[in-house]
């Protein structure tokens, strides 16, 4: 493939990773959602570019799905939840932002370390792609555990998924990408559905320990 193709793919992937850092950095829900939208857009672009450069039309579908679901529907839905639950003020991270950033950087380093031994038989692109997506996934996970709020945790979850898609589209001729992204979207939909249905505001941090324990017949 041409240098241009490589550079473009590399660049777009880098943007996705950058957005993950940006996500970690956000304090306000709205801005968080906006950043997430941007990440989704970047991912769309990547998918489309890969579809074009590798000539794999089905990746266009992936791109389209990403665009419609992640960049439009879900952000909007989450936006409404935030408004509905009146939690659009600042969100307190479980760990401080600074700490989170440090952790994020070390995670990226770790993923680089892990990718280094991947030898030349894998193409340069694969290695880059691997390093980027690995970082994105780990950062997404970090995001999930570093935030108390359901919405931001959903965002974290979806950024993990973004990492997956990034990896999937990056490697040539990956089959079933579409199916998987669909299956995944279903799951995300479930989560949002759950948040809606049960008004899970702080479910990730379970409400009242005594109450839960009595639920479980574990209290004496």
Partner 1 sequence: MSAVAVIVATPLIGAAVLALVPGHRLGSRLNIGFSAVTLLASLVLFGLEPSSGALFVVDAFNIYLIALTAFVGLTTSVFSAGYIAHEIAARKLDERKLRFYHAMYQAFMFTMLLALSANNLGVMWVAVEGATLTTVLMVSLYRTAASIEAAWKYFILCGVGIALALFGTILMYMAAQPVMGPGMAAMTWTELMGHVTKISPAILNLAFVFLLIGYGTKVGLAPLHAWLPDAHAEGPTPISAVLSGLLLNVALYAVLRFKMLLAANGEAIAPGPLMIAMGLASLLLAGLMLYRRRDVKRFFAYSSIEHMGIITFAFGMGGPLANFAGLLHMAMHSLTKSAIFYAVGHAVQVTGTQRIDRISGLTVSHPALGWGLLAGVVAIAGLPPFGVFMSEFLLVTSTFARQPLLALPLVVGILVAFGALVLRVQQLCFGAPGRVEGSGAPVASVPVQGTLVPLYAHLALVLVAGVWLPGPLVAWFQTVAALLG
Partner 2 sequence: MGLVVSAIAFLFAMAAAGIAAKRLPQASTVVYGGTAAACALIALWAAVRLAGGGPDASLVLPVGLPWIEAHLRADSLSAVFLIVVNLGGITASLFGWGYERAHHDSHGGPVLPLYPLFLAGMNMVLIAADAFTFLLSWEFMSLASWLLVLSTHRESETPRAARLYIVMASFGTACLLLAFGVLATAHGDYSFAAIRAHAPGAGAAALVVVLILLGAGSKAGLVPLHVWLPLAHPAAPSHVSALMSGVMTKVAVYAMIRVLFDLLGEPEWWWGGVTMGFGALTAVMGVLYALMQDDVKRLLAYSTVENIGAIVIALGLALVFKAAHTPVIAALALAAALLHVVNHSLFKSLLFFAAGAVLTATGSRDLNRLGGLIHRMPTTAVLALVGAAAISALPPLNGFVGEWLLFQAILNAPALPDWSLKIEIAVVGAALALATALAGACFVRLYGIAFLGRPRSRAAGEAVEVGRAMRLGMAVPAVLCVVLGVLPTPLIRLFEPALRLLVEAGPFDGRAYQPWFWLAPTSAIGNSYNGLIMLVVIALLSVVLVLGIHRKASDRVRWSIPWGCGFDGPDSAAVTQYTASSFGQPIRRAFGSTVFRARDHVDMPAPGDTRPARLSVTWTDPAWVAVVEPVSRGVAWLADRANRLQYMTIRRYLTLMFLALVVLLVMVAVSQR
Question: Which of these segments, 20-28, 82-90, 187-195, 210-218, binds partner 2 (CB under 8 A)?
Answer: 210-218
Applying CB under 8 A, among 27, 96, 183, 205 the residue interacting with partner 2 is: 205
Rounded distance between C-alpha atoms, residue 145 and residue 136, angstroms:
14
Burial class (CB in 10 A: 0-12, 13-18, 19+), 78: buried
- Binding segment for partner 2 (CB under 8 A), chosen from 48-56, 68-76, 111-119, 188-196, is 111-119
Long-range pairs of 75-83 with CB within 8 A, sequence gap ≥ 24: 75/33, 75/34, 75/36, 75/37, 75/40, 77/192, 78/33, 78/151, 78/154, 78/155, 78/192, 79/30, 79/33, 81/151, 81/192, 81/195, 81/196, 82/29, 82/30, 82/33, 82/151
Using the rule CB under 8 A, which residue among 41, 61, 87, 200 binds partner 1?
200
Within residues 72-131, the interface with partner 1 by CB under 8 A covers 114-115, 117-119, 121-123, 126, 129-130
Residue 55: both structure tokens together: 């000539």
Judged by CB under 8 A, the chain residues 89 through 108 that form the site for partner 2 are 94, 107
Which of partner 2, partner 1, none lies near 122, with the C-beta cut-off 5 to 8 A by kind? partner 1
Which residues between 136 and 195 bind partner 1 (CB under 8 A)? Answer: 137, 141, 144, 157, 160-161, 163-164, 167-168, 171-176, 179-180, 183-184, 186-187, 190-191, 194
Closer by beta carbon to partner 1, 57 or else 198: 198
């Amino acid at each position: 493939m041409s240098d241009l193709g490589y550079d473009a793919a590399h660049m777009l992937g880098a943007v996705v990773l950058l957005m993950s850092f940006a996500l970690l950095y956000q304090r306000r829900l709205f801005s968080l959602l906006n950043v997430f939208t941007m990440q989704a857009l970047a991912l769309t672009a990547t998918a489309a570019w890969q579809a074009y450069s590798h000539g794999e039309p089905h990746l266009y579908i992936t791109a389209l799905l990403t665009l419609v679901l992640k960049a439009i529907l879900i952000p909007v839905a989450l936006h409404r939840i935030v408004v509905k639950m009146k939690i659009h003020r600042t969100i307190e991270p479980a760990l401080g932002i600074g700490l989170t950033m440090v952790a994020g950087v070390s995670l990226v380093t770790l993923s680089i370390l892990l990718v280094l031994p991947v030898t030349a038989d894998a193409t340069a692109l694969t290695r880059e792609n691997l390093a980027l997506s690995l970082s994105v996934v780990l950062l997404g996970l970090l995001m999930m555990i570093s935030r108390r709020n359901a919405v931001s945790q959903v965002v974290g979850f979806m950024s993990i998924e973004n990492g997956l898609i990034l990896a999937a589209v990056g490697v040539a001729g990956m089959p079933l990408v579409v199916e998987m992204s669909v299956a995944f979207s279903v799951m995300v939909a479930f989560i949002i559905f759950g948040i809606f249905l049960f008004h899970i505001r702080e479910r990730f941090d379970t409400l009242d320990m005594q109450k839960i324990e009595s639920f479980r017949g574990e209290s004496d």
